[in-house]
Amino acid sequence: MPVHNADIGSIFEEIADLLEIQGGNPFRIRAYRNAARTVGEYRRDLKTLIDQGGSLPKLPGVGADLGGKIREICANGTCELLERLHREMPAAITELLRIPGLGPKRVRLLHDALEVDTIEQLRRAVRSGAIRDVPGFGEKTESQITQALESRGSAERRMKLATAAQYAEALATYLGSVPGVAEVTVAGSFRRRRETVGDLDILVAAGVAGPVMERLRAYDEVKTVLASGETRASVVLRSGLQVDVRVVPQVSFGAALHYFTGSKSHNIAIRRLGQARGLKINEYGVFRRTVRVAGETEESVYAAVDLPWIPPELREDRGEIEAARRGELPELVTLADLKGDLHLHTRATDGHNTVREMALAAKAAGLAYVAVTDHSRRLRVAHGLDPRGVSKQIDEIDRVNSALSGITILKGIEVDILEDGSLDLPDSVLKRLDIVVGAVHSAFNLPRRRQTERILRAMDNPYFSLLAHPSGRLLGEREACDVDMLKIVRKARRNGCSLELNAQPDRLDLDDVHCRMARDEGVLVAVNSDAHGVDDFAHLQYGIGQARRGWLTGAEVLNTRNLPELRSLLAHPAKR
């Protein structure tokens, strides 16, 4: 049975949740959570490595015990520890973890105080008002849980883009091996690089559909076949992800790719342009009466309505058609445009590798410079650096720079923005650094005015360079802070600061709307990996996808500059 890295990560995360509900050892719980992230985002498929007789790679935080569980999961799709925890815990209790606002600690509190083990028991506790008497709960929490329960039935299940990629790419490769298949493309919101996807649309160009449909039904990861016809099928994978596969002849592939990429509103607008020209545009082609006049390529579909090809990331009906008509579509940034990465961590705080190892990995990824930006002292869980620790790291960077060629390491810090807007380290330390990345890591629920003023005050520090993950959101886990982003963007412009687009798959922050806001206001955006290990530079591809959705060109991304140009920007007069 195929097991993806994301599946292993999900199992480790579930083990951590169940251990925490049981009140297990915090260090053991943290080990499973760290391993879940490390394994889930690892770029090489671990099951393939094991099946080929190879040894497990050396993964940060994964020792012999966790390594053995990885092998067990790859062989069986589960592990004995998880099954034992399931036997020890009420069967429905993990459903509670899917309610926003209920983490393992609160689930345990509800279990201990009210014997709440199921969704229905939770509903009764909310209706009776008993929940607000549990320590750590109150009327606000009760209201949040009530809203979550009300919307639960209609909530759309979505998967992070990077996680969906593991399933999408494996299935596309599998279908592409069928004799007679000319092309396979994953369309839909995945192709538009939305930060999460609800399902997958896979388009196959082939002369005969039968072998493709047969191969799909035989795929080991298929849990349920929802529908299966001559040229299309819908299945649900074991991961819970729904996949719709359609087989079309090559002559219709471009029209079908356009149709199934979407968005719906973009497609409607294109069809209306076609109707105005006496054309019918659908998934089979572009027709004038009964004659197909275009459709083999997407370019031909757009040309039929007198438009250039529009990149998939822009197809949201947010002005891209008007821009295309005027010949003003942006030349979107690409991964190859990036010259460096301005946010990464080492084992001095919560990273997994040394300064030298991270620099060499960045060089191997094609980058010319990186900024080491470990955490400041306020973030104790990450073993943040105090002034002495920063000074020690500065000396280390100097030593590594003198020994390496082809890559330059900039001295930086990810400094906490405290609740009053001051920075976590004194100016006497910050002025020694090439780049100061400010970040909110606490008090996420401040009222809008206070949260905005907090960030604005931090940006007034003369050494402030870059605002990290500006909204503070974690996809599917934590909502964005309530801030006036336009005020923040305009402050960045006045002070010569930049904003980060954090490429971590859990963040992808800035979102596409605020990327475009920064672009329109003339503020540069840095696409950074926030790498915590040598494999994390692969995250940059997802940041670039988000940047493209935000209409950013290479000129509008800070770290497309060469090093002298970058140093000049970081040495803006406002920061001297």
The arrangement of secondary structure in 5-152, i.e. its CATH architecture, is Orthogonal Bundle (1.10)
Element (H, E) at 408: strand 408-416
| Numbered ranges of CATH 3.20.20.140 in the chain | 335-575
Q: Return the pLDDT at 1.
A: 61
Q: Return the pLDDT at 124.
A: 85
Report the chain's terminal Cα–Cα distance, integer Å: 59
Residue 55 Cα distances to 41, 43, 46, 49, angstroms: 18, 16, 9, 7
106-111's contacts with Cβ under 8 Å and 24+ in sequence apart are 106/136, 106/137, 107/21, 108/20, 108/21, 108/22, 108/23, 109/134, 109/135, 109/136, 109/137, 110/134, 111/21
Nearest C-alpha neighbor of 228 from the set 240, 241, 210? 210
CA 205-210-215 angle, 5° bins = 85
* HSE-CB of 513 using CA atoms within 13 angstroms: 4
Is domain 335-575 classified as CATH 3.40.50.1820? Answer: no
| Numbered ranges of CATH 3.30.460.10 in the chain | 159-325
Amino acid (one-letter) located at 108: R
Q: How far is it, in rounded angstroms, from Cα 182 to Cα 204?
A: 8
Q: Return the pLDDT at 451.
A: 96
Q: What is the pLDDT along the chain (576 residues), one digit of tens a residue?
A: 678 898 999 899 989 989 988 888 988 998 999 899 889 888 788 998 898 888 888 888 899 999 999 999 999 889 999 999 988 877 667 778 777 777 788 888 888 888 887 888 888 888 888 888 888 787 777 877 887 777 665 445 789 999 999 999 999 999 999 999 999 999 999 999 999 999 999 999 999 999 999 999 999 999 999 999 999 999 999 989 999 999 999 999 999 999 999 999 999 999 999 999 999 999 999 999 999 999 999 999 999 999 999 999 999 999 999 999 999 999 999 999 999 999 999 999 999 999 999 999 999 999 999 999 999 998 777 789 999 999 999 999 999 999 999 999 999 999 999 999 999 999 999 999 999 999 999 999 899 999 999 999 999 999 999 999 999 999 988 889 999 999 999 999 999 999 999 999 999 999 999 999 999 999 999 999 999 999 999 999 999 999 999 999 999 999 999 999 999 999 854 444
Residue 426 Cα distances to 124, 397, 430, 464, angstroms: 51, 20, 7, 12
Fold annotation for 159-325? Beta Polymerase; domain 2 (3.30.460)
